Amino acid sequence: MKLFLQLAWRNLWRNKRRTIITISSIFFAVIFALIMRSMQRGYYDYSIKMSASMFTGYIQVHGQDFWEKRSLDQSMTVRAEDFRRLEHLPHVTQVVARLESFALVSYGDVTKVASLIGIDPLREDEMTHLQSKLVAGQYLTYSSDGVLIAEGLAEIMQISVGDSIVVFGQGYQGVTAAALLPVSGIVKFNLPNLNKTFIYLSLKQAQWLFGADERLTSVSLMLDNVANIDKVEKTARQIFGPEYELMTWDEMMPELVQSIAADNAGGVIMMIILYVVIGFGIFATVMMMTAERQREFGVLVSVGMKKRILMFVTFIETLFVSFIGVIGGGLISLPILYYYYLHPFKMSGKAAEALQAFGFEAIMPFSLKPEIFTEQIMITLIIAICSVLYPILFIRKLKPANALHG
Amino acid sequence: MKPNQFAPALLFICILPVVVFTQDAREIVRQADENMRSNSSYTELRMTITKPTWSRTIEMKTWALEPEYALIYITAPARDKGMATLKRKNEVWNWIPTAQKIIKIPPSMMLAAWMGSDFTNDDLVREASVVDDYEHKLLGEEKLGTYAAYKIESIPKPDKGIVWGKIISYISKESYLNLKSEYYDEDSLLVKIFNGSQPKTFDGHRILTRWEMRPQDKPGNSTILEYINVKYNIDLGVTFFSEQNMKRIR
C-alpha cells in the first residue's frame, strides 16, 4: 500500500506544472465556494435572528391549539418555577411572556380592530428593543395602566399621548373586555401591518382587561445561536406537558423559510456552475495526463504490471490532487472566514437603509458552520471519483501492443 | 315570532316561515311567524352559552320595534351589567358603561361573536324576511315528541343573498309552533339545529320559550335562549332606539 502511495505521489510530481495547475484550479474554486456559502449561510442565520427578535423568538410555548385558533380560550398558565427553569436552560438568553388578543379600539368617532399585547416591559425591551421604537410619551412600567399605541394606528385614529382610548372585546371564556385606557406613548414600527394594529399594555393590565388572571398566550425564547434550537426544544419539551404546544421559528414564520429557500436555490445554482467548471478542469487534466502516459501504461502492462494496480495508483493520484486543492483552499479561507465572522461586512446603500429602518445593524456576518466545509470536501471528492473513471476505463481497454506503438 | 329584541336573531334562526310554492306551506310559515311576531315587544331572557371547557349565562332585557330596531340591555353577570347593544337598521352600537362610551361596530367585526355566544353581530342585524325571502314547500307531516308537525323545506330566493342552502323546519299543527329548524349550507351539509320547547302564552301569543342552538361543526358548543317574560304590542316609538336612550335605559 505504501508503495502505491509512493508511486502515485512521485507520478504526480513528475510533471510539476500540470499538477500545480490542477491543484490551483481546485484551490481557488474551493476558496470561492466557501466564501460564497459562508456569506449566504451567515446572512440567513442573521435574518432568522432579526426576524425572531422582532416578535416571535426562536421558540414559542403556547397553550394547545393557540397558534391556529388565536383565542384567549387557548391561553395557558405557566408556573413561576417552570418559567425560572426555562430561563436557566443552557443557550436560552431571553424569556418573554405575553398575553395577546384582538379587540375593538375606539377614540372619537373612529373604531378599529387592534392587536392588544400584554407585555413585561423590561423583558420585552431586552428582546425586541421596544423602548427604542418610542417616538412620543413614556415607556411602560411593570404595572402601569397606560398603553403604547403603534404610530400608524395613532395617526389613523388621531390619537396623541395623554388621550384615552376605549377598548372593547371579548376576554377569557366569553367575559366582556371593556375599559378606558390612557395612551402613555407612541411606538413606531417599520412593518406596516404591525404599525397599523399593535397596542402594547402591561401584562397585569392585559390580564385584568381580558379577565385572564395569571394567564399567558405565549412565552418566547431567544437563544444564543439558532444552531442550538433542537437541543433547547427537546429540554423545554420536558418542562411542558402535552397541554402546551412548542413551535420553532420556521413553523411560525413559513414565509421566511420560503424566502431563504428561494435565495438558497440561487446560491446552489451558482455552486453547481462553479463545480461544473472545476469538474471539467479536473477532468481535462486527468484526460491529458492519461493520453500523455499511454506509452508508459503500455510498457508497464507489458512487463507484467497488473491493470488493477495501475488503475488504483491512478485513482490515488487524482485523490491526492483533489485533496491538496481542497485542504489548501480550506486552510487559506478559514482565517478569512473567521475574520469576517468576527468583523462582519458593513453593508451600504439601499439594502443597508432597509435593515437600519427595522432597527438592525446593516451587517453581513459570515457563518463558520462545519457543514459548509464538509459540503465542499464531499463535492470535490465526488468530482475526483467521477473524473478518475476516465483513466480507469482507458487502462481497462488498453492493448499493450497498440499502446507501445502509439 | 317577534318576541323581542332578540327578535332579529331569532328570526333568522328560529323562524323559517316562507312563502311561495305551495300556498299551504307559505300559509303555515306565515302563521308561525305571525304568532311570534308583533309590531313591538319587550322581552326578558336568559342566554346560556356552553363551550367544551366553560359556560356562562347572560341575562338581558330587550325592546324591539319590528323589523328595524332593537335595544338589548344586559342585567347579568355583574361584570357586564349595564352594557347595551342598539340595533338600528343594519348598524350595531354598543354602550360600554365602564368607559362611558358608545362604540359602533365596524363592518369588519360584524361576523364576530356577540357577547361570546354562537350569534354574530351580523345575526342581530340581518333583515332576512322569513316569509318572503324563501320559497317554501310542504314535505309532509311528522310526529315530533307529542306534537303533530308539518315538515317544511325553505329554499332562499337566489337574489336575497342568504347564506343557507336550505332550511328544514317543523311547525306544529296546533298553535303553529316552530319546534325545530335545521340549517343546511350550500353543499347540503347540516350546519346548525334549532330546537324549541316549553310553550307558554304571553299576551295571547302562544310561543316556545326555550330555544337551543347547536352548531354542528363545533361539538360541545351550544347557546340556549330562555324567555322569562314577554310583552307584546307595547308603546314604543322609533325615538326610543337612540344612542341617548341606550345610556339611560335600565
pTM for the model stands at 0.74
Are B54 and A173 in contact (CB < 8 Å)?
Answer: yes
Range among A349-353, A362-366, B189-193 rated most confident: B189-193
Quick: pLDDT tens for A312-324: 888 888 888 888 9
pLDDT at A209: 92
Quick: pLDDT tens for A75-122: 999 988 999 999 999 999 999 999 999 998 999 888 889 999 999 999
Instruction: Please tell me what DSSP assigns to residue A105.
Output: E
- Backbone φ and ψ for A94, nearest 5 degrees, come out as -140, 145
Are A180 and B100 in contact (CB < 8 Å)?
Answer: yes
How many percent of chain B have pLDDT more than 70? 88
Q: Which of A109, A113, A178 has the CB atom closest to B99's CB atom?
A: A178
Chain A residues with beta carbon closer than 8 angstroms to that of B83: 176, 178
Are B116 and A173 in contact (CB < 8 Å)?
Answer: yes
Are A174 and B49 in contact (CB < 8 Å)?
Answer: yes
pLDDT at B11: 43
Chain A residues with beta carbon closer than 8 angstroms to that of B115: 170, 174, 176
The CA-based diameter of chain B, rounded to the nearest angstrom, is: 54
> Please, where are the H alpha helices in A303-369?
307-342, 349-357
pLDDT at B128: 58
pLDDT at B126: 62
What cell numbers appear for A298 in the block? 503500455
* Domains of chain B with bracketed CATH: 7-248 (2.50.20.10)
Q: Which residue of B has its CA nearest to A182?
A: B99
pLDDT at B29: 86
Mutate which of A172, A173, A208, A209 to test chain B, going by most B C-beta atoms within 10 A?
A173
Residue B21 has pLDDT above 70, yes or no: no
A21/A357 Cα distance (integer angstroms): 48
Chain B residues with beta carbon closer than 8 angstroms to that of A109: 104
The CA-based diameter of chain A, rounded to the nearest angstrom, is: 103
pLDDT at A349: 79
pLDDT at A184: 94
Q: Which of B53, B83, B101 has the CB atom closest to A176's CB atom?
A: B83
Q: Which carries the bigger pLDDT value, residue A361 or residue A90? A: A90
Residue B246 has pLDDT above 90, yes or no: no
Residue B44 has pLDDT above 50, yes or no: yes
CA A333 to chain centre: 21
Do A136 and A161 contact (CB within 8 A), yes or no? yes
pLDDT at B23: 52
Quick: pLDDT tens for A61-71: 999 889 988 88
Quick: pLDDT tens for A375-392: 877 887 788 778 888 888
CA distance to partner chain B, nearest, from residue A383 (Å): 58
The alpha carbon torsion through B154, B155, B157, B163 (nearest 10 deg) reads 110
- Backbone φ and ψ for B153, nearest 5 degrees, come out as -105, 130
Do A338 and A330 contact (CB within 8 A), yes or no? no
| Amino acid (1-letter code) at residue A115 | S
Residue length of chain A? 406
Q: Which residue of B has its CA nearest to A107?
A: B103
Q: Which of B80, B99, B117 has the CB atom closest to A179's CB atom?
A: B99
Q: What's the Cα-to-Cα distance from A207 to each of A130, B69, B77, rounded to whole Å?
A: 20, 36, 19
Chain B residues with beta carbon closer than 8 angstroms to that of A168: 94, 96, 99, 103
Interface contact A225, partner B, CB < 8 A: no
Q: What's the average model confidence in pLDDT over A169-189?
A: 90
CA angle A125, A46, A55 (to 5 degrees): 35
Q: What is the residue-averaged pLDDT of chain A?
A: 88
Quick: pLDDT tens for B204-220: 888 889 989 888 888 88
Q: What's the average model confidence in pLDDT over B164-179?
A: 88
Q: Which of A168, A173, A178 has the CB atom closest to B56's CB atom?
A: A173
* Burial zone of A107 (CB within 10 Å; 0-12 exposed, 13-18 middle, 19+ buried): buried
Residue B10 has pLDDT above 50, yes or no: no
Q: What's the average model confidence in pLDDT over A26-40?
A: 86
A57/A221 Cα distance (integer angstroms): 5
